[in-house]
């Protein structure tokens, strides 16, 4: 992998009239149920106090709640003109991009959050309808080259997913009797855990169109990022009530009915708790009662790609985003740009924005930019782009949910 990076870096920096180096960072979180304080600790680590949990609990209602997070560190090198011999078209090499990325997406019920964060004791004598839940978490490193042909930008690359985990449940029910002596569980689930070197082949494409008639400027674009196939080799798969194809694959063919499993809770003296191996024996009993199917499977899955549609005019910019992750609903963003300062060799401005959808219900965002260059040599320039997503969550992280930030600095010489 290092040899590939060095090769592309040399390709992008050699024989060029203008080179651009752009480091960047991107992060976003969102939820319809978890506060920003909880999301930060889930995504980046940390202790979640009972106080934070109690303040978030009023939102734990319903069966179609959403949560998720994404991050990416990237470095782009380029562009330089690179002509490919063709009788009709001219293709330009735009550079190479390397990135470290990760994230998770979840679609879950309110009762599932109650059991996960509070345990079963607060719900003695009750039945928790866990229902259907989906979770996908991943991390990896990728490299991608980019080209331009007229109004089309496209690229291809490879990525190594060091971690890929998925989990889903169907019709899950959990009950603790009124005396807190007996537990019962019923339902189906499936989990996939793949760690190590899992390679994906993925691509990037963007189409754009400009129109400027009588001062009426309009711009359209359609993009898809990191779309491809990821191969999971010998992934550990556990399931209950799932019917599988004998061939490769990670999606069950169907779900079959399962029997309710019951256990009696053990009450032991502290002395026995310290010296006995009751926990190991109890664990074996629990696992045996669930009748879990364990297997190794290999196959292809679709990568967690991103897609975007954008329309821009002098009055408004409208963007529709989609993430191929559980719980992410198509997100509509509306914004308007203001030029805060312009003079020879410098331009700066900001853009307020409101977003609806995604992992959240709404977000109030803002973007700032600065462009500085030498009027005598305009090809030498520095640009800085900063955006903040979910301003309401940054100000009140224990009450609001959904926030993000990005920073991109480009220097061209």
Instruction: Convert the pLDDT of each residue in 158-178 to its tens digit.
Output: 999 999 999 999 999 999 888
* Entry pTM: 0.83
Average of per-residue pLDDT across 1-13: 42
Q: Looking at per-residue confidence, does 357 or 378 come out higher?
A: 357
**pLDDT at position 268:** 53
C-alpha 244/C-alpha 285 separation (Å) is: 25
pLDDT-based confidence at residue 179 (cuts at 50, 70, 90): confident
In sequence order, which residues have a C-beta less than 8 Å from that of residue 320 and are 6 or more positions away? 308, 309, 310, 330, 331, 332, 333
pLDDT for 2 beyond 60: no
State which of 195-209, 315-329, 361-375 shows the largest mean pLDDT.
315-329
CB atoms within 10 A of CB 379: 12
Record the tokens describing residue 74, joined without a space.
Answer: 């990237």
**Measured CA angle at 401 (ends 398, 403), to 5 deg:** 110
Res 14: pLDDT: 42
Question: What pLDDT, on a 0 to 100 scale, did the predictor assign at position 79?
Answer: 63
Tens of pLDDT, residue by residue over 63-103, are 899 999 999 999 998 864 444 444 455 788 888 999 999 99
Q: Which two tokens stand for residue 184?
A: 């019962």
Angle 246-136-258 (CA atoms, 0-180°, nearest 5)? Answer: 50
pLDDT at 80 (0 to 100): 46
Of the chain, the end-to-end C-alpha distance in Å amounts to 27
Query: Which tokens in the block code for residue 36?
Result: 């920003």
pLDDT value for 359: 93
Least confident range from 193-197, 313-317, 343-347, 366-370: namely 343-347
Predicted pLDDT at 40: 84
Q: Decide: residue 122, CB within 10 A, 0-12 exposed, 13-18 middle, 19+ buried.
A: exposed
Do residues 204 and 153 touch, judged by C-beta distance below 8 A?
Answer: yes
* CB-CB neighbours of 76 under 10 Å: 21
Give the confidence band of 196 by pLDDT, cuts at 50, 70, 90: confident
DSSP helix/strand/coil, 148: strand
**Residue 246: band (very low, low, confident or very high) from pLDDT cuts 50, 70, 90:** confident
Which SS3 state, helix, strand or coil, does residue 22 take? strand
């Amino acid at each position: 992998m290092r040899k590939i990076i060095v090769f592309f870096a040399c390709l992008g920096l050699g024989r060029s009239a203008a080179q651009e180096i752009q480091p960047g960072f991107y992060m976003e979180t969102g939820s319809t149920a978890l506060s920003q304080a909880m999301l930060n600790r889930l995504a980046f680590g940390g202790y979640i106090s009972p106080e934070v949990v109690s303040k978030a609990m009023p939102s734990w209602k319903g069966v179609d709640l959403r949560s998720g997070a994404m991050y990416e560190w990237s470095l782009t090198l380029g562009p330089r003109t690179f002509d490919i011999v063709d009788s009709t078209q001219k293709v330009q090499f735009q550079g190479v991009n390397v990135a470290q990325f990760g994230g998770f997406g979840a679609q879950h019920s309110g009762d599932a959050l109650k059991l996960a964060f509070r345990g079963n004791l607060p719900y003695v004598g009750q039945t928790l309808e866990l229902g259907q839940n989906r979770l996908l978490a991943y991390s990896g490193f990728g490299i991608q080259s980019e080209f331009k042909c007229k109004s089309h930008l496209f690229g291809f690359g490879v990525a190594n997913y060091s971690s890929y985990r998925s989990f889903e449940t169907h019709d899950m029910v959990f009950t603790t009797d009124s005396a807190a002596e007996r537990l019962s569980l019923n339902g189906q689930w499936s989990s996939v855990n793949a760690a190590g070197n899992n390679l994906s082949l993925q691509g990037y494409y963007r189409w754009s169109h400009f129109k400027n008639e009588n001062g009426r400027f309009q711009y359209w674009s359609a993009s898809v990022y990191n779309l491809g196939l990821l191969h999971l080799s010998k992934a550990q798969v556990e399931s209950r009530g799932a019917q599988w194809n004998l061939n490769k694959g990670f999606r069950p063919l169907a779900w079959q009915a399962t029997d309710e499993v019951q256990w009696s809770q053990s009450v032991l003296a502290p002395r026995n708790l310290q010296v006995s191996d009751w926990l190991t024996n109890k664990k074996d009993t629990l696992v045996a009662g669930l009748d879990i199917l364990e297997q190794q499977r290999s196959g292809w899955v679709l990568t967690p790609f991103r897609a975007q549609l954008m329309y821009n005019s002098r009055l408004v910019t409208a963007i529709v985003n989609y993430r191929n992750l559980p719980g992410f609903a198509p997100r509509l963003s509306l914004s308007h740009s203001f030029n805060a300062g312009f003079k020879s060799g410098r331009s700066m401005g900001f853009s307020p924005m409101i977003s609806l959808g995604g992992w959240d219900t709404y977000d109030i965002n803002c973007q700032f930019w600065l462009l500085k260059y030498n009027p005598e040599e305009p090809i030498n320039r520095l640009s800085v782009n900063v955006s903040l997503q979910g301003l309401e969550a940054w100000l009140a992280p224990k009450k609001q949910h959904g926030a993000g930030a990005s920073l991109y600095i480009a220097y061209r010489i």
